[in-house]
């Protein structure tokens, strides 16, 4: 499948604009491309009970899974800041459950990008096979 990284960055930027971040003011957007060709946007949503917060990457992932998707093709994450920001540890673990080789492009608002994979971000990820 041909991946339109530029288009995915645009979708993630729009999703970032929908983030609900009254506590951190750190908005993040994501765009997850699936094997069906559908793109699932995600944004971070904060809550006064911090443990109830959800990251943009997991918002996109759970939307895709809820729609019946399992074949993850590519992910873009867009955030403000001086450098492209990688997914947090929880997001890395969740994404690796479904696509341990998933290619990612991380971008900031100034246009800097970093291409990576889930394996590079989370080597030795815990998986179902580890449960015996």
- Residues marked as catalytic: 57
Q: Please, are residues 29 and 55 in contact by the beta-carbon 8 Å criterion?
A: no
Pairwise CA distance, residues 60 & 76, whole Å:
10
Pairwise CA distance, residues 92 & 108, whole Å:
19
3-state DSSP call for residue 93? helix
SS3 content of the chain, % helix, strand, coil (to 5): 35, 25, 40
The residues, ordered by sequence, that sit 6+ positions from 123 with a Cβ below 8 Å of its Cβ are none
């Amino acid at each position: 499948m041909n991946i339109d990284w530029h288009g995915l960055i645009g979708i993630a930027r729009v999703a970032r604009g929908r983030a609900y971040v009254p506590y951190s003011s750190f908005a993040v957007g994501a765009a997850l491309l699936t094997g069906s060709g559908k793109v699932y946007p995600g944004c971070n949503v904060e809550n006064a009970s911090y443990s109830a917060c959800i990251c943009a990457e997991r918002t996109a992932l759970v939307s895709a899974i809820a729609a019946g998707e399992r074949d993850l093709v590519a992910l873009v994450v867009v955030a403000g800041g001086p450098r492209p920001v990688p997914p947090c540890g929880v997001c890395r673990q969740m994404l690796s459950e479904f696509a341990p080789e998933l290619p990612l492009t991380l971008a900031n608002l100034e246009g800097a990008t970093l291409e990576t994979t889930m394996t590079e971000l989370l080597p030795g990820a815990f998986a179902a096979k580890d449960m015996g």
